[in-house]
Amino acid sequence: MAIKFDKIEDGHYQLDVCGYVCPHPQMYTKKALQKLAEGDQLTLVFDNPSSGESILAMCESEGNDVYERSEEDGTAVWQIRKG
């Protein structure tokens, strides 16, 4: 179990923080978004529900668009576009 940050393609990255609980998911998401350029897409995979609410509020506050959210068997996959 490790935090994984990969480039899927140009302008599209993936951060996987499954298995991690607070504060790791929100803090690593913030760090990942700081690395992205405006308009880049981040696929975020995590399984700690309470981090999700903080990440959603953080994106809303900073102008990043969480444009797709899916969840299955306790694992969430979110698509975020950096604003």
Size of residue set near other proteins by CB under 8 A: 43
For residue 68, state whether it binds other proteins (rule: CB under 8 A).
yes
46 SS3 class = strand
For residue 11, state whether it binds other proteins (rule: CB under 8 A).
no
29: its two tokens? 């998401």
11 phi/psi in degrees, rounded to 5? 80, 5
Q: What whole-number distance in Å separates Cα of residue 83 and Cα of residue 38?
A: 5
Site residues (CB under 8 A) for other proteins? 1, 3, 5-7, 13, 15, 19-24, 26-28, 30-32, 35, 47-50, 53-55, 57-58, 60-63, 65-74
